[in-house]
Amino acid sequence: MKIAIVCYPTFGGSGVVATELGLELARRGHEIHFITYSQPVRLALLNANVHYHEVNVPEYPLFHYQPYELALSSKLVDMVKLYQIELLHVHYAIPHAYAGYMAKQMLKEEGIKIPMVTTLHGTDITLVGNHPFYKPAVTFSINKSDVVTSVSQSLKDNTLKLFDIKKEIVVIPNFIELDTKKIDSDIPCYRSVLAKQEERIITHISNFRKVKRIPDVIKIFYKIQKEIPAKLLMVGDGPEKEKAERLCNELGIADKVIFFGNSNEIDRILSYSDLFLLPSETESFGLAALEAMACNVPVISSNSGGLPEVNSDGFSGYLSDVGNVDEMALNALRILKDDSTLNNFKENALKTAMKFDIRNILPLYEAIYRNAIDDS
Ligand code: GMT
């Protein structure tokens, strides 16, 4: 199949999922066209089956806001015609589903019918899309999609609760490619740069937005390091990062916390980690937790949104109510207390991640694509 994938090219989960999906589809022989405003961060190699088309938005002083949706829908129309693309798969409703719908309409005028699959990722529904300024357009473009998927049952339930949705929503969970996770974590010099042999390594990876509850990450770690030798690796960048650095200084733990910024070495960092913290206010899925588990790292998370669908309480880690940092720290210490308990949790984390193996999930998308193309 010839498929156009529209996504955000940044470090966010939706862009990562879209990119990994496109790359795997290409490996399976499909022709994939990524259409976005810059090359997706996880898209290293382009080849015969992987194309990238940049959406350019010319700056014009009249516009206070440059019209990205307009440029995107025009680009979609051009690329569909040029490459005979058969299906649009848009990730994140805003504004991609809206632009995709406009492209569909323009193409229809020229006698070209193309189905659109919209995948809802989370904040497009729970935070941004639900804002009254966006809600009518988001509702409209979801209802006008040929197929709507959501990355968890929790996100589906929220979407149906918050929006007047007429379409069926199919749950297709996010996935992980386990084969690529074999990192040579035994290279001693790398680990020793991060922590002393006796220190446990605790990691958090996110976009450092409010929803991630970054101060909770620091507070949990503060309690852990009072009991056992430990280091905290903070990976990613965003609006809450500076505040987090200040909090570490105030608590006197700055020398035990390393802030990395955005990194392309996520798997390597995770391969040295003993525990992952994700105390978010909400997560539709929690891809970062799955990536951690795929690298044998147990997860301490909140129990909100789709996290209970990913992290298994008492098995791959523990779940607690949002903000219950005392319980999260206690559970972290339960996991980290001795090597045999930790190793058990590490094994269970990997076992849990295996349920989300890309080889099980990808055929679900392929089936949806085929049906949508056949029905159009
Ligand atoms: O806040 C983020 O983590 C970024 C956001 C995004 O849109 O990329 O992530 C959302 O989509 C991910 C991929 O499906 C999910 O794993 C995240 O849980 C979800 N974030 C939230 O729901 C807050």
Among the residue ranges 42-46, 87-91, 97-101, 313-317, the one predicted with the least confidence is 42-46
Ligand 1 atom nearest to CA at 13: 8
Confidence of residue 210 (pLDDT cuts 50, 70, 90): very high
The matching CATH number, chosen from 3.40.640.10, 3.40.50.720, 3.40.50.150, 3.40.50.2000, for 178-354 is 3.40.50.2000
Reported confidence tier of residue 187, pLDDT bands at 50, 70, 90: low
DSSP helix/strand/coil, 293 = helix
**Where do the domains of the chain lie?**
2-175+357-375, 178-354
Averaged pLDDT, 172-191: 73
CA distance 119 to 131: 19
CA 95–ligand 1 middle distance (angstroms) = 16
Reported as a single tens digit per residue, the pLDDT across 245-265 is 999 999 999 999 999 998 888
Which residues are CB-contacts of 121 (< 8 A; sequence separation ≥ 6)? Answer: 13, 14, 17, 91, 92, 151, 155, 284, 285
* Whether the CB of 283 sits within 6 Å of ligand 1: yes
Amino acid identity for residue 147 in this structure: V
Measured distance CA(184)–CA(203) in Å, rounded:
18
Ligand 1 lined by 286 (C-beta under 6 Å): yes
Half-sphere exposure of 351 (CA within 13 A, CB side): 10
pLDDT bucket at 44, cuts 50 / 70 / 90: confident
Q: Is 87 helix (H, G, I), strand (E, B) or coil?
A: strand
Question: 2-175+357-375 and 178-354: same fold?
Answer: yes
Q: Which residue's CA is the nearest one to ligand 1's atom 23?
A: 283
The answer as to CATH 3.40.50.2000 being correct for domain 2-175+357-375 is yes
